[in-house]
Structure 1
Amino acid sequence: MKSSPSFSVVTIDDLRGPAGRLEALLNPGVPDAPYAVLLCHPHPLGGGTMHNKVVYHAMKAFQSLGLPVLRFNFRGTGLSEGTHDYGQGEQDDARAALDWLERRYGLPILFAGFSFGSYVGSRACCGDARVKGAVLLGAPAHAEGRDYDFGFLSTCTIPKLFISGTRDQYGPVDTIQSVVAHAAPPSELVLVEGADHFFVGRLDEVQHAIIGWTRSHFLDAALP
């Protein structure tokens, strides 16, 4: 890519899922970007939205590389229509966002999600030929009475980056290591020493990991 990254943000009014309009924001990226990015937010019942700090910093990491980034609120969150569907309908919301990105850019897509968003989004994206890589931030094992089974990743052969804190209260290190070990290769795990589930005070390390992984797996090969 030769153009400089664009740091503007645009409100999207035409993203609709099965439950209705989905509130969304787009960082447009550079004209010659080789990939587009979809970002999914943490659990709405815990206050998660597309404005979550981890999601925002992940967006900034991809934006710094000149990639267009789409964030949206799941059904029933913020101004999005519909009601929360406990991770089922939210997968359809993510698929609707993939469709929107395809219509807008016609580019291969990278997925990133935080916590609940990492689970719901990766379920929707793995197996979709349009999605070429996935970043799972703070992948949860058990959170607020909810269990998450990432066994489906055993057949997900796109490059995957897991970023977790060593003090993640919802994803103990040994559990996340097991998830990564049982996921189809290529899969990488970055452990942020001392970080909790929300990476408080360590978001710069999260951004660094995303940028390095994205460059090495996707952008370096796209350079002339």
Structure 2
Amino acid sequence: MNSAVIQKFFIDGPSGKLETILGEPGSTPQGIAIIAHPHPLHGGTMENKVVHTLFNTLLELQFITVKFNFRGVGQSEGAFDHGNGEIDDVIAVTQTIRSQFSNHVTDVPLLLAGFSFGGAIQLHVAEKLNPEFLILVAPSVVNLNAPAVPETTQCALIIQGDNDNIVLPDAVLAWAAPTSQPIVFIPGAEHFFHGKLAILKHVILRAFARKA
């Protein structure tokens, strides 16, 4: 983490500039990770603590790691588009970052990560971009009618708090049941994982340690 390089810039999105923060690891990248934040109309931004935890954890895992503000959030241009335009935002950011690193980073895996609204958005994006990895924290699968994890995804880590009263555990279980998608439950965690962010990070690190 100490040798990582962090930079802020703007990406040309479908409805204007998208405020973006990129972290480059200090060693050979293990992939490209794109993180989507919670619902824009409920205070969701890329500065959310869960998003911040995802960003730092994936950078520690040596991913080229990106978080950004959806259209109409922070300094990003445009206006909220009920999920449709936000899917296009993720695709635009992903394509730009892949292009930016294409000369010296080739054929690295794509990881899509998201929290709440952002998690459901990433499931829709996954249908289009076929990422190797997914990390979804309390994905709002009901409100956005999220599809299942694509069969082409090598590893999907779904993390849910059992005390979540915003994204209900039963709703996530109902979404997961048809495909027997495993879910990691963190006991005592509510929607924003107050007091549980270190455990959230540990769950992700442990999953990738097993993969390695």
Assess, with a 3 A threshold, how the Cα gap between structure 1 residues 63 and 89 changes in structure 2: closer, same or farther: same
Q: Is 2:98 aligned against 1:120?
A: no
Aligned to 1:76: 72
CA distance in 2, matches of 1:127, 1:156: 12
Q: Is 2:21 aligned against 1:25?
A: yes
Q: Which amino acid aligns with 2:124?
A: R
Name the SS for the 2:33 alignment partner.
strand
CA distance in 2, matches of 1:212, 1:127: 28
Where structure 2 has 5 or more consecutive residues not aligned to the other structure, the ranges are 103-107
Aligned to 1:153: 148
Q: Which amino acid aligns with 1:114?
A: F
Q: Is 2:5 aligned against 1:11?
A: no
CA distance in 1, matches of 2:3, 2:137: 24
Q: Which amino acid aligns with 1:171?
A: V
Q: CA deviation at 1:31?
A: 4.1
Q: Which amino acid aligns with 2:208?
A: T
Where structure 1 has 5 or more consecutive residues not aligned to the other structure, the ranges are none
> Which segment is superposed worse, 61-70 or 42-51?
61-70
Q: Which amino acid aligns with 2:187?
A: E
CA distance in 2, matches of 1:117, 1:154: 14
Q: Which amino acid aligns with 2:133?
A: G
Q: Which amino acid aligns with 2:59?
A: Q
Q: What TM-score do you get using the length of structure 2 for normalisation?
A: 0.89
Q: Is 2:202 aligned against 1:201?
A: no
Q: CA deviation at 1:216?
A: 2.9
Aligned to 2:111: 110
Aligned to 1:216: 210
Q: Which amino acid aligns with 2:137?
A: L
Identical amino acids, percent of aligned pairs:
31
Q: CA deviation at 1:140?
A: 2.1
CA distance in 1, matches of 2:3, 2:159: 26
Runs of 4+ in 1 over 3 A off after TM superposition: 4-8, 154-157
CA contact (8 A) 2:16 2:76 kept: yes
CA distance in 1, matches of 2:37, 2:174: 24
Q: CA deviation at 1:9?
A: 1.4
Q: CA deviation at 1:125?
A: 2.3
Q: Is 2:130 aligned against 1:134?
A: no
Number of residue pairs matched by the alignment: 206
CA distance in 2, matches of 1:154, 1:211: 21
CA distance in 2, matches of 1:208, 1:139: 19
CA distance in 2, matches of 1:5, 1:177: 38
CA distance in 2, matches of 1:213, 1:188: 13
Q: Which amino acid aligns with 1:10?
A: Q
Q: CA deviation at 1:166?
A: 0.3
Q: Which amino acid aligns with 1:120?
A: I
CA contact (8 A) 1:17 1:96 kept: yes
CA distance in 1, matches of 2:37, 2:20: 11
CA contact (8 A) 1:5 1:66 kept: no
Q: Is 2:64 aligned against 1:61?
A: no
CA distance in 2, matches of 1:195, 1:79: 31
CA contact (8 A) 1:95 1:125 kept: no
Name the SS for the 2:189 alignment partner.
coil
